[in-house]
Structure 1
Amino acid sequence: MVQTQVDLVLVTYESRPVLPAFFHSLRQFTKPPFRLLVIDNNSKDQTKAYLQAMRKDPFFGPQMRLVFNRTNLGVAKAWNQAVKITSGRYLVFLNPDLVFTKDWLQKLVQSAARHKKAMVVGVKILNPDGTIYHAGANGKIRGKGQMDRPGLFDQEKKVRWVQGSCFLVKREIFGKIGGFDERFFMYGEEVDFCWRVRKAGYEVLYTPVSIYHYRKGSQISRAARLQLRRHSAQLLRAKWRKK
């Protein structure tokens, strides 16, 4: 089974409130074998203690590794850190505020394996109320705000970029285009990465695997989030308007 080649990568920061739902659904809907790397960006709440407890769990413990950073490195740096200390053919980058659905990982990996030129594979991100948050983007985000239903965005499709709360990357692409741009502290790093993948002649693929995203992964103020989003948007414009 190709899943033996999968490293799941979870980056946490002040994420304690959402972790029980994440781990419960991961246990319920994810078939081993897989490896789970959790990188904590110096949380000050009870995140570290919770992760250490999960490390002792019989289901997660044998395949789970914890890394505790001394400072908050941001998302892109933590993802690059994960690339260096994992070895699987596929890396699946995850937010802590996710709830999974049945056989999500098996379906995601099968889709990646079918499409040889696709170096990034994203999923159907749903809001808690069942509306679509993101189904890939071609100019604009597909499906945003629509109530999900059978037949809606249920086909694999090449897209320009996918949303970064849950997406697969084939390890081989890092040797061709490098890692994530560490100037993006949070937000925008997956967009930049997808654009670099496509510029290098490879594909970004959307696959209709449903994942619920609660968008409360870190206890960061609304003002701080807005500032981070604006900064990332400025970086993207400055970097890609010259291309």
Structure 2
Amino acid sequence: MDYNPAHTAVVILNWNGLRYLQEFLPSVVAHSGNCEIIVADNASTDGSVAFVQEQFPQVRIILLDQNYGFCEGYNKALQQVEAKYYVLLNSDVHVPERWIEPVLELMESDENIAVCQPKILSQQHPGFFEYAGAGGGMIDTLGYPFCRGRIFEHLEEDKGQYNDVQEIFWATGACMFVRANVYHGLGGLEPAFFAHMEEIDFCWRARNTGYKVMYNGFSKVYHVGGGTLHKSNPRKTFLNFRNGFALLYKNLPSKELIPTLALRILLDWIAAFRMILAGQTKDAKAVLDAHADLLRNSSYWGRQRKKHYHKGNFPKLAGVYKGSIVWEYFVRQKRTVKEL
């Protein structure tokens, strides 16, 4: 099936990412066909906007008045973009030829597909999957996300094992194709997340309202990863733990909510204790700060649950591993999805 890419907008959210725009924007311009290419700028101060204006006048620029973060930055930018499909693309992604067509052709074949991602490989090590998305996102019953091709820090070599089309639980925000009407219908990304796990929350909401989230391994892109916050940054630890907990509170069915959250609190505290033993005291504090932040803002998260919650059957959704990935990885030493 042929699809006219002129109905698609590739939107790169930028904040002081000049070095990435210099390296990767040329491939996006060269290999995105008739798609509209947009750089939405979160009030950068590093010359990013001037670079795009001078070197790529065909690229549209949306100027935001401050750094709204990943979530609200995209929400505000996409209010100004008319298209059938959006591609949310990180600035640190290299795209080869024909990276768009296989995904759009799949989405055109089924109007119930709301979100899709390609295969995500490492820019530094192209033969291996990249952390953020890999071969499609999954989640376990305690809300721990992982991917086909990536469990925690273990990254698989790409040997064609995920050259398929597969329904998944979540698609990566590093390169996420989404129907514009669904994006706006669901209220966009959760602004309070700021960054990290926002795509899981969005995909969960889409799944609960009857849409499919897909992976198409016949398209691929190459991602640097960690361009905004390195994994060793305590701010990233805070966002991951805070957002991971809020993700469950917003979306879990009522009968599973209390026992799941209780166990997650215990596991989070164990993780913090391990960080202290490893000398990572700032990260341990970030975990505790995450829990404190959730308590301080419990009324907000309660309103969000009431606003977005649907009575979905979480364990029966595609991409949910009916066990504990923490147990399988750290105790049983299983490193790949095929071993689970």
Q: Name which structure has the greater RCO, CA cutoff 8 Å, separation 6+.
A: 1
User: Structure 2: how far apart are the matches of 1:28 and 1:7?
Assistant: 15
**Which secondary structure state, in structure 2, belongs to the residue aligned with residue 186 of structure 1?**
coil
User: Structure 2: how far apart are the matches of 1:219 and 1:191?
Assistant: 18
The answer to whether the Cα contact below 8 Å between 2:11 and 2:86 also exists between their aligned partners in 1 is: yes
Deviates more, 1:135-144 or 1:159-168: 135-144
- Which of residues 23, 26, 47 is equivalent to 1:24? 26
Partner residue in 2 for 1:186: 195
**Which secondary structure state, in structure 2, belongs to the residue aligned with residue 53 of structure 1?**
helix
**What is the TM-score with the length of structure 2 in the denominator?**
0.65
**Which secondary structure state, in structure 1, belongs to the residue aligned with residue 201 of structure 2?**
helix
Aligned length: 235
Q: Rg larger in 1 or in 2?
A: 2
- Which of residues 149, 158, 175 is equivalent to 1:143? 149
The answer to whether the Cα contact below 8 Å between 2:24 and 2:91 also exists between their aligned partners in 1 is: yes
User: Structure 1: how far apart are the matches of 2:84 and 2:252?
Assistant: 33
| CA displacement, residues 188-234 of structure 1 (integer Å, 9 cap, x when unaligned) | 11110000000001100111111110014337782333333233223
Partner residue in 2 for 1:72: 67
Partner residue in 2 for 1:54: 55
Once superposed, which parts of structure 1, at least 4 consecutive aligned residues long, lie more than 4 Å away?
none
Amino acid at match of 1:188: M
- Change over 3 Å in CA distance of 1:24–1:55 after alignment to 2: closer
User: Structure 2: how far apart are the matches of 1:50 and 1:219?
Assistant: 23
After TM superposition, give the deviation of residue 123 of structure 1 in Å. 1.4
User: Structure 2: how far apart are the matches of 1:224 and 1:16?
Assistant: 22
Partner residue in 2 for 1:169: 178
User: Structure 2: how far apart are the matches of 1:229 and 1:115?
Assistant: 33
Amino acid at match of 2:92: D
**What is the TM-score with the length of structure 1 in the denominator?**
0.89
Q: Percent identity?
A: 25
Partner residue in 2 for 1:223: 234
Are positions 1:202 and 2:203 aligned together? no
After TM superposition, give the deviation of residue 39 of structure 1 in Å. 1.0
The answer to whether the Cα contact below 8 Å between 1:2 and 1:109 also exists between their aligned partners in 2 is: no
Q: Could you say which structure has the higher helix fraction?
A: 2
- Change over 3 Å in CA distance of 1:206–1:226 after alignment to 2: same
User: Structure 2: how far apart are the matches of 1:13 and 1:230?
Assistant: 23
After TM superposition, give the deviation of residue 16 of structure 1 in Å. 1.1
Partner residue in 1 for 2:83: 88
The answer to whether the Cα contact below 8 Å between 1:97 and 1:215 also exists between their aligned partners in 2 is: yes
The answer to whether the Cα contact below 8 Å between 2:13 and 2:91 also exists between their aligned partners in 1 is: yes
After TM superposition, give the deviation of residue 69 of structure 1 in Å. 1.7
User: Structure 2: how far apart are the matches of 1:21 and 1:169?
Assistant: 25
The answer to whether the Cα contact below 8 Å between 1:14 and 1:218 also exists between their aligned partners in 2 is: no
User: Structure 2: how far apart are the matches of 1:232 and 1:138?
Assistant: 16
Contiguous gaps of at least 5 residues in structure 2: 140-145, 255-340
User: Structure 2: how far apart are the matches of 1:131 and 1:217?
Assistant: 18
Are positions 1:236 and 2:247 aligned together? yes
Deviates more, 1:19-28 or 1:114-123: 19-28
- Which of residues 212, 224, 229 is equivalent to 2:222? 212
- Change over 3 Å in CA distance of 1:45–1:14 after alignment to 2: same
Are positions 1:123 and 2:134 aligned together? no
- Change over 3 Å in CA distance of 1:230–1:47 after alignment to 2: farther
**Which secondary structure state, in structure 1, belongs to the residue aligned with residue 192 of structure 2?**
coil
The answer to whether the Cα contact below 8 Å between 1:135 and 1:162 also exists between their aligned partners in 2 is: no
**Which secondary structure state, in structure 2, belongs to the residue aligned with residue 194 of structure 1?**
helix
User: Structure 1: how far apart are the matches of 2:240 and 2:17?
Assistant: 19
User: Structure 2: how far apart are the matches of 1:216 and 1:174?
Assistant: 25
**Which secondary structure state, in structure 2, belongs to the residue aligned with residue 225 of structure 1?**
helix
User: Structure 2: how far apart are the matches of 1:4 and 1:81?
Assistant: 22
Q: What is the alpha-carbon root mean square deviation over aligned residues?
A: 1.9
User: Structure 1: how far apart are the matches of 2:183 and 2:229?
Assistant: 31
The answer to whether the Cα contact below 8 Å between 1:15 and 1:219 also exists between their aligned partners in 2 is: no
